[in-house]
Structure 1
Amino acid sequence: MNQEFYTTREVLEAILTSIDEGIHVINTKGDTIFYNKVAAERDRMKVEEVLGEPLIQSFPSLNRHTSTLLKVIEKGEPIKDKRQSYMNIHGKMIETINTTLPLHMNGELIGAIEIAKDYSTLKALSERLLDLKQSDTSQKKNKGATNSVHYTFSDLLTVNPEFLQVIHQGKKAANSNSSVLVYGESGVGKELFVQSIHASSSRRNAPFIAQNCAALPESLLESLLFGTAKGSYTGAVERAGLFELAHGGTLFLDELQSMPLQLQTKLLRVLEDGLIRRIGGSKNSRVDVRIMAAMNKHPEKALQEQLLRPDLYYRLNVLSYELPPLNQRPEDIELLSEHFISYFNTKMQKHISGIEPDLLKFFHAYKWPGNVRELKHTIEYMMNVTETTLLHFQDLPPFLKIKDTHILEIHPLRETLKKTEEKLITNALMKTKGNILQAAKLLQIPRQTLQYKLNKIE
């Protein structure tokens, strides 16, 4: 077993060394058999101080109860996204978020591999984010200003009947304190819609705080939302979370389906009783927060894929809205284009008067997978490069120029097939350096057929 394992070691090392993550591998005895430079930099160690040494010798604060690697060796089960604090031999405290997996060969446990991220940096970033939001909230409260809201319903530009009905229903939601669930493709304007509800509600002068649930690992997202009590983990201080910062206002949770299921349970409890408890704390605090959530995946699909708890979905589904994608709102394309041209004219001090007709036809034929956001960025790009007072085809971003030929130019089928066939034959001959037999094999046609086609081309 060991000989077979170490025979493949050079291949494994070449792969693992190229990965931009901290990788630490131990055998069943607890000795380190692989340790890359990324892991060494994270642990403030040198590779030679760890490689070949017992794990607990390199990191004396760890033992079989606290080490994720040793736990996996003991139980043979994976541990995912586990926060770990430990001290290296130089007395430096390290904090990581680890995913640790058992290694098996021929059905036998031979070791464990750990992929770790530097939790210290992530934690510092999240705490800085909290401090900034807390500072922003305090300043704006003192000024009596609305917090972090830049949009109202008047910014939702549409003449599409379906979207107009959604906006009409959203205005009704502004008179309520019930939870809101919005779903739609990326770029359709979910946060704009949610901000509009908040701006029209009685909470308009209270905080509006947004958090993307996919942006942070579970442990950091939990402490960011609920706050921390002093001593709850190494270096923890008393710090309010987003629920407390949003007290009296609205907390917007984007990409809700990315929130871990265990954390969704805690969110459900807050929705039910309005109580939160800081991580490591012993007392509950009541918060008055309206929860609005958004998803870029349809809730039914998220439920099927077990990304969303059914009880949380039914609790949030009191007021739910689906925002239609841009390709279902063709009447809005010209309206939005004119709006973005006017916006960037002011911002860039330009005088673009509109879009040429053929370009507008392309805009209507294109599917806009990035929705309104993609249209806005496309207009911005074109206005940066155009040399006329109208936007033209040549002003399109390069990747869209490729697509426009497929959308707008329709050639006769026989001509297209002929050109495609000639191109394939030419490529096959180039690859085989003119060998007709080998080229025919590549094209999976008889040699005589290829020769016949070549004579026709000539």
Structure 2
Amino acid sequence: MKYRRSVSLCVGKRPAVLNFDRFLRLQSSSINANQYVEFSETRPEVLGIPAAALPSYREPATVSWRGRWYTLQTKRLPEETGGYRVLICPKTREEELRRKVAIYEKILNTIHEGVLVTDPGGRVIFYNQELAVLEGIDPREAIGKHVTELYRQSPGDSEHLQVSQTSRPIPESFQKYFTQNGVEVHSVASTVPIIENGELLAVYSVCRETTHMKEMLIRTMQLQGMDSEAEENPKTDGRKVPKSATYNFAHIVGKSKPMQEVVRAAQRAMLTSANILIYGETGTGKELLVQSIHNGSPWRAQPFVAINCAAIPENLLETMLFGAVKGAYTGAVPTVGLCEYAADGTLYLDEISSMSIGLQAKLLRAVQERSFRKVGSVTESPLRCRIISSINVDPLTCLQKHLLREDLFYRLSVISLYLPPLRERTGDIPLLIEYFIKKHSPRNDLKKMDPDLARLLLHYRWSGNIRELENTVESMIYLTGEEKWLTYEHLPAYLKAQVGKTTPLPAASEGGSGPRLNSSLLSAENNIIVEALKKHRGNINRAAKELGILRQSLQYRVKKLGIEVEQFRK
């Protein structure tokens, strides 16, 4: 019965037959079966399937081999005979085509872009699931309809009909349209003809929805203090000047040597118009430093505009930076970009390494030429602002991992500033704790921190840096209630486990006979560095990596402590 069913699947053709013994050694075959057998290390393979796997094909199965499709079935022969008989039936071209179409439709219905295919006359022959979600139309209702009926368009407005007439693709076109159900859709689509031997077979388009992205763009501009359309104001050339930077160098808390060096370098840099690149881990206060530079510069009266490049979708970031002109896409209104909005002030690009390499190339051109083009425009607009950018990954790592174009890096880092993490400026932790207690304590109820706990916190790594320290102090203040002192019990749960492992430094007695905090810290630091240098035989790079600090920072500490590195290299 199974044999007859498999033969019937061949649509009138004789199946190819292969006979194997019980050990799956090939015994005989029909003349038309030899082409399906290959030998790998003397072991036969049928349609690319090892002989050992053939018994599992008891029911007819469809198998792909060398670009063709086949029906394969293995029949176990009677016990007295033993062995197996393998039947192979090539699929007809029509069956193959039908199967390929089913596969392609399955793929197109699972991708995250809308796909529409029309015949040369403009009638829909394929409409995928993502497009159905976007437009709110059942694919079964869309199939067979003309595009002008489906989208309430005149023939001249339909890109599918334009491509049908010209046989030329329309790439990356912004569209605004209404479906037959009255749904307003904003998208960007590429429409392409399918041509074979000079004959137009079909037209397809692939689109991405931008309706919600447009709303996000407008919302982001509102948060920046901007409008999508500039208001006429003769004093600002039609611009609304956004809120200025609020911080200055007086807001920077820190008297440690690394921090004082950064502040001095920033104060020298603020007097120039050179582009500045700031490298610092997350939470080190990069924007505080940037605003201080702007407010101390000769251009403090000009706008200060900041944007986090990692927080904006790639296809919106270009419009955010450079703006757009009316007609850049269907329904577009004139949009003022941040480069224009910053005017003669400061444009701060946070997490610049999150920007796509393609957009980095456009930014490079703008920085080099001191001009840019709005989206959809062919005219140049001047770039007058100073650009300050920041990264939270080591610059060398950014370049090695191709997160940042090398040529753009050199253009943006005319002046480079390194903002040290909190673990490299532990001397500032007591000052910061005091500052945050004053900032977050209720009025007329100034809290205090237990000195023993304050000493313990000096040894925590503070991976979140100043932001983590501030959140910790604020959390503790909320948990104290009416109590006066911030103690170990008020620490966040995750910190108790970490700080509890730290051995506190010996405290001085009331008479002052115990070891001093500074000398104890220096002694502990010296011992840790010496052990790392011994382990790595004086190799500064490896020792710094183990200690979790930069090579330059380790060199500075070695020099400060008077450690002779050469003694470990012998």
So what's the TM-score if we normalise by structure 1?
Answer: 0.69
Asked if 1:265 corresponds to 2:356, the answer is no
SS of residue in 2 equivalent to 1:291: strand
Which has the higher mean CA deviation after the structures are superposed, 368-377 or 27-36?
27-36
Residue 380 in 1 paired to residue 471 in 2? no
Query: What is aligned with 1:452?
Result: none
Structure with the higher fraction of residues in helix conformation: 1
What's 1:42 paired with? 134
Residue segments in structure 2 that go unaligned for 5+ positions in a row: 1-63, 65-97, 191-203, 505-570
Return the alpha-carbon distance in structure 1 between the equivalents of residues 137 and 322 of structure 2: 34
Separation (CA, whole Å) in 2 of partners of 1:115 and 1:366: 50
Counterpart of 1:275, as a letter, is S
Alpha carbons of structure 1 residues 84 and 284: separation in structure 2 relative to 1, 3 Å: closer
Corresponding residue SS for 2:175 = strand
Residue 445 of structure 2 corresponds to residue 371 of structure 1: no
* C-alpha separation in 2, matches of 1:65 and 1:402: 67
How far apart are the structure 1 equivalents of 2:303 and 2:99? 63
SS of the residue corresponding to residue 335 of structure 2 reads coil
The answer to whether the 8 Å contact 1:251/1:290 transfers is yes
CA 1:191–1:49: 2 relative to 1, 3 Å: farther
User: How many Å apart are 1:282 and its aligned residue?
Assistant: 2.6
How many angstroms does 1:206 deviate by?
Answer: 0.6
Structure ranking higher in strand proportion: 2
Residues 269-294 of structure 1: per-residue CA shift (max 9 Å, x gap):
22223212211123212232011001
Q: Which amino acid aligns with 1:383?
A: I
Shift of 1:405: 3.8
Over 3 Å counting, the alpha-carbon distance change for 1:26 and 1:233 in structure 2 is closer
2:461 partner SS:
coil
Match of 1:395 among 490, 498, 501: 490
C-alpha separation in 2, matches of 1:295 and 1:350? 40
> How many Å separate the matches in 1 of 2:487 and 2:457?
11
Counterpart-to-counterpart distance in 1, 2:241 and 2:411: 31
Structure 1 residue 133: Cα displacement: 2.4
Q: Which has the larger radius of gyration?
A: 2
**1:330 positional shift:** 0.9
Q: Which residue of 1 aligns with 2:225?
A: 133
Aligned to 1:163: 259
Q: Report how far residue 157 of structure 1 moved.
A: 0.8
Taking the aligned partners of 1:55 and 1:379, their CA distance within structure 2 comes to 65
Displacement of 1:225 after TM fit? 1.0
The within-5 A match list for 1:24-103 is 35=129, 40-46=132-138, 49=141, 61=158, 63=160, 85=175, 87=177, 89-90=179-180, 92-96=183-187
C-alpha separation in 1, matches of 2:179 and 2:296? 58
Residue 373 (structure 2) aligns with? 277
Tell me, what secondary structure is at the counterpart of 1:133? coil
**1:121 aligned to 208, 212, 216, which one?**
212
User: What percentage of residue pairs aligned between the two structures are identical?
Assistant: 33
| Distance in 2, Cα, partners of 1:408 & 1:64 | 76
Amino acid at match of 2:254: T
Contact 2:173 2:329 in 1 (8 A): no
Rate the CA distance shift 1:230–1:296 in 2: closer, same or farther, 3 A: same
Check conservation: 2:175, 2:331, Cα contact below 8 A.
no
Q: Which residue of 2 aligns with 1:199?
A: 295
Distance 1:308 1:285 in 2: 25
Structure 1 residues 34 and 232, CA gap change in structure 2 (3 angstroms):
closer
Amino acid at match of 1:401: K
SS in 2 for 1:130: helix
> Which whole-Å deviations, capped at 9, do the CAs of 1:71-119 have from their partners, x for residues lacking one?
9xx9xxxx9xx775364641644224699xxxxxxxxxxxx99895x41
Within the alignment, does 1:339 sit opposite 2:435 as a pair?
yes
Are 1:404 and 2:499 an aligned pair?
Answer: yes
**Partner of 2:413 in structure 1?**
317
When the two chains are superposed, the root-mean-square deviation of aligned CA atoms in Å is 4.1
Conserved? CA contact 1:246–1:289, under 8 Å: yes
Give the letter for the 1:366 counterpart. Y
- Alpha-carbon distance in structure 2 between the residues aligned to 1:372 and 1:120: 38
Change (3 A) 1:27 1:219: closer
Residue 445 (structure 2) aligns with: 351
| CA distance 1:167–1:64, shift in 2 (3 Å) | farther
Q: How many residues align?
A: 373
**What is the distance in 2 between the residues matched to 1:152 and 1:321?**
17
Q: Is the 8 A contact 2:175 2:189 kept in 1?
A: no
Q: Kindly tell me: are residues 277 and 6 of structure 1, through their superposed partners in 2, closer, same or farther at Cα, counting changes over 3 Å?
A: closer
Q: Measured at CA, do residues 228 and 24 of structure 1 come closer, stay the same or move farther in structure 2, by a change above 3 Å? A: closer
Q: Distance between the aligned counterparts of 2:354 and 2:502, measured in 1?
A: 35
Q: Which whole-Å deviations, capped at 9, do the CAs of 1:157-200 have from their partners, x for residues lacking one? A: 11221121011000001110000100111110111111111100
Counting only pairs closer than 5 Å after superposition, residues 415-426 of structure 1 correspond to structure 2 as none
Distance in structure 1 (CA, Å) of the matches to 2:242 and 2:327? 34
The 1-side partners of 2:503 and 2:464 are apart by: 20
